C-alpha cells in the first residue's frame, strides 16, 4: 500500500510539472538560497557586540529561573514532610509505634529530597543565596525531626548516638552563615550600583521592552533589606535556641554559649527585652522554669511575624519569595 501511494505521488508530481511548467527543482534552489541568506544574516546578528549583551542577560535570567524552579520544588518536599499523623484512639501500642516510625521515615525522606533540590539549585547558580538559606532551614528541621523522634521513643540519651543530629545543626548554621554573607555582599553591591547606569534596564529600553523592567523605590528596597536581616536573624536565633535545648538534654556544657548566641540573634531581629527575658526564663536549663508550661520558641516567633505582617500591610511593602520559607512553623 505504501509503495502504491509513493508511486502515485511521483506520477502526480511529474504530471503537475509537465502541464503547469513548474520546476520543483528551482523551488528547492530558491528555498536553499533563502535559508543560506537567512543563516548569514542571523550569523551577523548573533555575532555582534550588542547580541552578546542580550545573550549574557538571557543566560543570567534563565539561570535564575532554573534555580528558582528547583528552590520551589524543594519547598514542596519541605511542606510534604509536615504531613500530620492521625492515630486512632483505639489503636494498639504496636500499631501506634509502627505508624509513628513509618511517618518519621517518610518525613525524613522528604527532607532529604528537599535538600537535594536546594543543592541542585546551587549547582546551577552558585550565588543563589536563597538556596543556602533554604538548605539551612531543611537541615534544621531534619535535626529537630530526629531529635523529637528519639525523645518520643524514650531512648537512653546517655547511649543514644547524637552525632547525626549535631552534624545537622552544624550544617544548618553553616548554610545560614554562608547564605547571609552572600546576601550582605549582594546588598552592598546593589547600594554601590545605585548611582551607576543599570545595564539590564538600558538593554531592555534599546529593545523596546522597558515595560518588563520594574524599578522599586529606595524606601521599598530599604524595607526589604531590613526585613531580610530580621528574618534571617530570627531563623538563626531559633536554630541556636533549639540546639541549646538539645545540648542541655545531652549534658553538654556548651548549651549556655549556644543560648547566649541565640539571644544575640534575636536582639538583631528586633526582639524586645521582655521577649528575651521570657525565652531565657523558660529555657529547660532554668531550674525556676514553670513546670508543665510546654513553652515553645515558635509561639514568640509567630507573634513577631504577625506584628511584621501588620506593619507591612500598613506601609504597603510587598512580600518576597523567601517569606514562605521564613514563615514555616517549626513544630
Number of Cβ atoms within 10 Å of the Cβ of 51? 13
CA distance 60 to 56: 6
Burial profile 193-227: b = 16 or more Cβ within 10 angstroms, e = fewer: eeeeeeeeeebbeeeeeeeeeeeeeeeeeebbeeb
pLDDT tens digits, one per residue of 25-47: 545 455 565 566 556 656 665 67
| Residue 133 CB contacts under 8 Å (≥ 6 apart), including other chains | 175, 176, 179, 180, 183, 232, 235, 322, 325
Helix or strand run (H / E) with residue 18: helix 2-20
Confidence of residue 277 (pLDDT cuts 50, 70, 90): confident
CA distance 209 to 113: 38
Report pLDDT for 89.
73
Q: DSSP code of 283?
A: S
Helix, strand, coil proportions of the chain in percent (round to 5)? 75, 0, 25
Cα dihedral across residues 149, 150, 151, 155: positive or negative? positive
Residues 293-302: what's their mean pLDDT? 54
Percent of the chain with pLDDT over 70: 63
Report pLDDT for 82.
82
Number of Cβ atoms within 10 Å of the Cβ of 97? 13
Number of Cβ atoms within 10 Å of the Cβ of 329? 11
Confidence of residue 322 (pLDDT cuts 50, 70, 90): low
Q: Per-residue pLDDT for 200 more than 70?
A: no
CA distance 176 to 182: 10
Report pLDDT for 109.
95
CATH number corresponding to 28-84+98-212: 1.25.40
Q: Per-residue pLDDT for 313 more than 50?
A: no
Instruction: Report the length, in residues, of the chain.
Output: 331
Percent of the chain with pLDDT over 90: 37
Residue ranges per domain, the chain?
A: 28-84+98-212, 216-331
Least confidently predicted of 178-187, 275-284, 304-313: 304-313
Confidence of residue 20 (pLDDT cuts 50, 70, 90): very low
Q: Per-residue pLDDT for 270 more than 50?
A: yes
Contact 270, 231 (CB under 8 A): no
Residue pointed to by grid coordinates 531550674: 287
Long-range contacts of 155-160 (CB under 8 A, 24+ apart): 157/249, 157/250, 157/251, 158/251
CA 66 to chain centre: 12
pLDDT tens digits, one per residue of 43-53: 665 676 766 77
| Residue 262 CB contacts under 8 Å (≥ 6 apart), including other chains | 237, 238, 239, 240, 241, 243, 244, 279
Residues 263-289: what's their mean pLDDT? 83
Which value, to the nearest 10 degrees, does the dihedral of the CA atoms of residues 176, 177, 179, 180 take?
A: 110
Least confidently predicted of 56-60, 145-149, 269-273, 293-297: 293-297
Q: DSSP code of 194?
A: G
Summary mean pLDDT of the chain: 77
pLDDT tens digits, one per residue of 83-120: 777 766 777 778 878 888 888 999 999 999 999 999 99
Pick the most confident of 76-80, 94-98, 319-323: 76-80
Look up the pTM and report it: 0.74
Residues 286-295: what's their mean pLDDT? 53
Q: CA of 103: how far to CAs of 39, 77, 82, 140, 146, in Å? A: 59, 14, 10, 18, 12
Confidence of residue 292 (pLDDT cuts 50, 70, 90): very low
CA distance 164 to 306: 34
Amino acid at each position: 500500500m505504501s509503495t502504491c501511494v509513493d508511486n502515485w505521488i511521483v506520477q502526480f508530481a511529474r504530471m503537475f510539472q509537465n502541464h503547469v511548467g513548474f520546476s520543483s527543482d528551482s523551488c528547492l534552489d530558491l528555498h536553499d538560497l533563502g535559508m543560506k541568506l537567512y543563516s548569514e544574516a542571523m550569523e551577523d546578528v548573533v555575532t555582534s557586540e550588542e547580541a552578546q549583551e542580550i545573550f549574557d542577560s538571557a543566560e543570567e535570567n534563565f539561570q535564575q529561573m532554573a534555580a528558582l524552579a528547583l528552590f520551589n520544588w524543594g519547598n514542596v518536599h519541605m511542606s510534604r514532610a509536615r504531613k500530620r499523623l492521625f492515630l486512632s484512639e483505639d489503636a494498639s501500642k504496636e500499631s501506634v509505634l509502627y505508624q509513628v516510625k513509618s511517618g518519621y521515615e517518610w518525613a525524613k525522606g522528604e527532607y532529604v529530597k528537599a535538600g537535594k533540590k536546594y543543592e541542585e539549585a546551587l549547582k546551577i547558580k552558585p550565588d543563589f543565596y536563597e538556596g543556602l538559606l533554604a538548605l539551612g532551614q531543611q537541615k534544621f528541621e531534619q535535626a529537630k525531626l530526629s531529635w523529637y523522634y528519639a525523645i518520643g521513643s524514650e531512648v537512653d540519651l546517655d547511649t543514644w548516638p547524637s552525632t547525626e543530629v549535631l552534624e545537622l545543626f552544624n550544617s544548618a548554621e553553616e548554610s545560614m552563615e554562608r547564605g547571609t554573607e552572600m546576601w550582605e555582599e549582594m546588598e552592598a553591591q546593589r547600594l554601590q550600583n545605585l548611582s551607576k547606569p543599570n545595564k539590564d534596564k538600558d538593554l531592555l529600553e534599546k529593545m523596546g521592552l522597558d515595560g518588563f523592567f520594574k524599578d522599586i523605590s529606595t524606601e521599598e528596597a530599604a524595607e526589604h533589606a531590613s526585613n531580610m536581616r530580621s528574618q534571617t536573624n530570627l531563623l538563626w536565633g531559633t536554630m541556636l535556641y533549639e540546639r541549646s535545648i538539645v545540648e542541655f538534654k545531652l549534658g553538654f556544657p556548651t548549651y549556655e554559649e549556644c543560648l547566649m548566641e541565640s539571644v544575640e540573634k534575636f536582639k538583631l531581629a528586633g526582639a524586645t527585652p521582655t521577649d528575651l527575658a521570657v525565652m531565657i526564663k523558660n529555657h529547660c536549663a532554668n531550674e525556676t522554669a514553670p513546670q508543665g508550661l510546654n513553652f515553645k520558641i515558635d509561639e514568640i516567633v509567630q507573634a513577631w511575624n504577625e506584628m511584621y505582617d501588620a506593619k507591612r500591610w500598613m506601609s504597603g511593602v510587598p512580600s518576597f519569595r523567601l517569606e514562605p520559607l521564613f514563615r514555616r512553623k517549626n513544630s
